[in-house]
């Protein structure tokens, strides 16, 4: 049996009220909020978060592959999947692939992972997708697009929680939304009414109906219809034309009200929401995603779903949020309003040399006295033994030992909160704190580590760990 073995998701903590966007431009506004990635987050770091959520209850050493899908990846020429696999602390001999260019990249990655599992090429493949698309100011997309990430683990055997029954794809060549490589920072769109009617709705409905016919399904046999959409109205229109009943809970929430449209990540996030919602053994899940065509994948829930350890996924991260009360900060985080920052530098050689510490968060444990240290050191600061230690992965939770709010260091989020954290299981680390309210930081508060972007230096992104209050 091949299918999905686990799922996870991530939603940034910051939420921007759509009325604040409307007020900023003096235009009509829509209700609800959009999720906004913090200044130190991008599609890669959010993909890490979703994958880590997906790995709850699993050993990273069991992962046989990492696939990453995004149209807003931090690099146009460098693998994000390999970095994500390194941060997750997987074994070296795994299968890593990046999927890009189309908003359908996530379902294409999921299909490729299922194919790889079926032929035995890899087992326990993490498929993760993160998105931070930028909309043009004073456009409909500005109040529609949100940030987030989703992930699933694909494999075979008794641990499969949703058995894969098959798939169907239909191509559609139409210019709907696009960005030109190295020329466009923001999403472009032309004649959305034509594109939605003759592109999205036409092919999404055709694809879903063709898949139901292929797998001998009628609308009433589908326990959960999980399909993406560009907006509220289009999502409801597909349900009506396919015979689904949104009022009964048959149609999975597309997350527009409090998160926004998350592009490539949307189908995996919606799928995580469906798998978290209490589906029973035998329930049929229909997953469909449109962009330059439509992919439809069909799954059947198994008894293993109820045994999967709980995770934050959609409901957990939705419940944890901070309002972003500054429209100017939103424009800054989106790269629309440029604010000069101090020039920081880095060296790829150092990052390569220290990757196990910087990315995988490994420390040293003295074989003589048991002291855990970070970064790793050759001479134990307690018992003075030399070159007698074991490299170990550090836990990613702890408590604040001490902290300071630095108002001198120029940062996108002033003041810069710096904390010394005592990790569970040993080890003391010095980190920036993010996603916090300044007046809530205190000694002894519980924190968790999160992989974030520190700065850009020498024309590449410098990533490291920060701490944040437990979400």
Structure tokens belonging to residue 457: 């230096």
Shared-domain flag, residues 405 and 439: yes
Are 456 and 344 in contact by the 8 Å Cβ rule? The answer is yes
In a domain, 81, yes or no: yes
pLDDT band for position 324 (cuts 50, 70, 90): very high
Last residue of a domain, one of 333, 359, 383: 333
Q: What distance lies between CA 211 and its chain's CA centroid? A: 28
How many angstroms separate the CA atoms of 28 and 21, rounded? Answer: 9
- Domain range spanning residue 254? 2-333
pLDDT band for position 351 (cuts 50, 70, 90): confident
What is the predicted pLDDT for the residue at 459?
82
Shared-domain flag, residues 306 and 275: yes
pLDDT band for position 379 (cuts 50, 70, 90): very high
Say yes or no to pLDDT of 307 above 90: yes
Say yes or no to pLDDT of 411 above 90: no
- 436 Cβ contact list (under 8 Å, min separation 6): 417, 468, 469
Cis peptide before 415 (omega within 30 of 0): yes
- Count how many domains the chain has: 2
At residue 267, the 3 state secondary structure works out as: helix
Say yes or no to pLDDT of 344 above 90: no
**Cβ neighbours, 10 Å, residue 397:** 15
Shared-domain flag, residues 392 and 261: no
Shared-domain flag, residues 134 and 197: yes
- 470 Cβ contact list (under 8 Å, min separation 6): 397, 446, 447, 448
User: Can you tell me the mean pLDDT for 223-233?
Assistant: 94
What is the predicted pLDDT for the residue at 100?
96
Shared-domain flag, residues 230 and 148: yes
What is the predicted pLDDT for the residue at 1?
95
Shared-domain flag, residues 38 and 128: yes
Shared-domain flag, residues 370 and 450: yes
The per-residue pLDDT of the chain, averaged, comes to: 94
How many angstroms separate the CA atoms of 50 and 129, rounded? Answer: 8
Say yes or no to pLDDT of 410 above 90: no
Say yes or no to pLDDT of 346 above 90: no
User: Can you tell me the mean pLDDT for 108-117?
Assistant: 98
- Write down the pTM of the prediction: 0.94
User: Can you tell me the mean pLDDT for 5-15?
Assistant: 98
What is the predicted pLDDT for the residue at 412?
82
Say yes or no to pLDDT of 83 above 80: yes
- 1 Cβ contact list (under 8 Å, min separation 6): 156, 157, 158, 160, 163, 302
**Cβ neighbours, 10 Å, residue 350:** 11
In a domain, 17, yes or no: yes
Are 145 and 18 in contact by the 8 Å Cβ rule? The answer is no
Say yes or no to pLDDT of 343 above 90: no
Structure tokens belonging to residue 468: 């944040």
In a domain, 301, yes or no: yes
pLDDT band for position 378 (cuts 50, 70, 90): very high
Are 88 and 63 in contact by the 8 Å Cβ rule? The answer is yes
Which of these ranges, 61-75, 246-260, 343-357, has the smallest mean pLDDT? 343-357
At residue 283, the 3 state secondary structure works out as: coil
Q: Residue 290's beta-bridge partner residues?
A: 294
User: Can you tell me the mean pLDDT for 158-179?
Assistant: 94
Shared-domain flag, residues 305 and 362: no
Shared-domain flag, residues 304 and 356: no
Say yes or no to pLDDT of 374 above 90: yes
In a domain, 183, yes or no: yes
Say yes or no to pLDDT of 445 above 90: yes
Shared-domain flag, residues 323 and 442: no
At residue 222, the 3 state secondary structure works out as: coil
Say yes or no to pLDDT of 192 above 90: no
What digits encode the pLDDT tens for the residues 387-401?
999 999 999 999 999
Last residue of a domain, one of 304, 333, 362: 333
Shared-domain flag, residues 134 and 172: yes
Shared-domain flag, residues 290 and 411: no
């Amino acid at each position: 049996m091949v299918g999905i073995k686990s799922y996870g998701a991530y939603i940034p903590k910051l939420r921007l009220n759509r009325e604040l966007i409307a007020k900023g431009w003096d235009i009509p506004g829509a209700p609800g909020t959009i999720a906004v990635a913090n200044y130190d987050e991008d599609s890669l770091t959010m993909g890490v978060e979703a994958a880590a959520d997906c790995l709850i209850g699993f050993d990273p050493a069991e992962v046989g592959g990492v696939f990453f899908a995004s149209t807003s990846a931090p690099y146009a020429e460098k693998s994000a999947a390999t970095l994500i696999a390194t941060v997750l602390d997987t074994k070296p001999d795994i299968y890593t692939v990046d999927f890009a260019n189309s908003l359908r990249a996530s379902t294409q990655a999921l299909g490729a992972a299922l194919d790889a599992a079926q032929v035995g090429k890899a087992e326990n493949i993490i498929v993760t997708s993160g998105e931070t698309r930028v909309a043009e100011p004073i456009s409909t997309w500005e109040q529609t697009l949100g940030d987030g990430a989703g992930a699933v683990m694909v494999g075979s055997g008794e641990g499969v929680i949703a058995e894969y029954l098959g798939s169907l794809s239909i191509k559609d060549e139409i210019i709907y939304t696009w960005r030109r490589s190295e020329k466009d920072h923001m999403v472009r769109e032309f004649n959305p009414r034509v594109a939605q009617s003759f592109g999205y709705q036409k092919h999404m409905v055709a694809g879903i109906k063709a898949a139901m016919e292929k797998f001998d399904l009628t609308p009433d046999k589908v326990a959960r219809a999980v399909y993406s959409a560009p907006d509220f109205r289009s999502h409801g229109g597909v349900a009506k034309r396919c015979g689904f009943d949104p009022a009964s809970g048959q149609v999975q929430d597309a997350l527009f009200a409090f998160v926004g449209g998350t592009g490539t990540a949307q189908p995996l996030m919606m799928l995580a929401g469906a798998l978290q919602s209490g589906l029973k053994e035998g329930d049929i899940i229909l997953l469909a995603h449109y962009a330059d065509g439509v992919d439809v994948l069909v799954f059947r829930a198994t008894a293993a779903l109820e045994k999967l350890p709980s995770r934050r996924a959609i409901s957990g991260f939705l419940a944890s949020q901070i309002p972003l009360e500054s429209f100017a900060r939103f424009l800054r985080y989106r790269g629309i309003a440029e604010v000069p920052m101090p020039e920081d530098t880095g060296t790829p050689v150092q990052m390569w040399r220290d990757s196990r510490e910087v990315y995988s968060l490994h420390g040293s444990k003295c074989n003589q006295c048991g002291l855990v240290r970070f970064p790793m050191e050759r001479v134990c600061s307690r018992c003075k033994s030399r070159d007698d230690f074991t490299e170990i992965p550090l836990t990613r939770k702890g408590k604040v030992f001490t902290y300071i709010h630095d108002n001198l260091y120029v940062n996108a989020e002033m003041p810069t909160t710096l904390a010394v954290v005592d990790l569970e299981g040993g080890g003391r680390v010095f980190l920036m704190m993010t996603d916090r309210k300044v007046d809530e930081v205190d000694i002894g508060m519980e924190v968790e580590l999160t992989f974030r972007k520190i700065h850009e230096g020498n024309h590449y992104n410098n990533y490291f760990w920060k701490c944040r209050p437990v979400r």
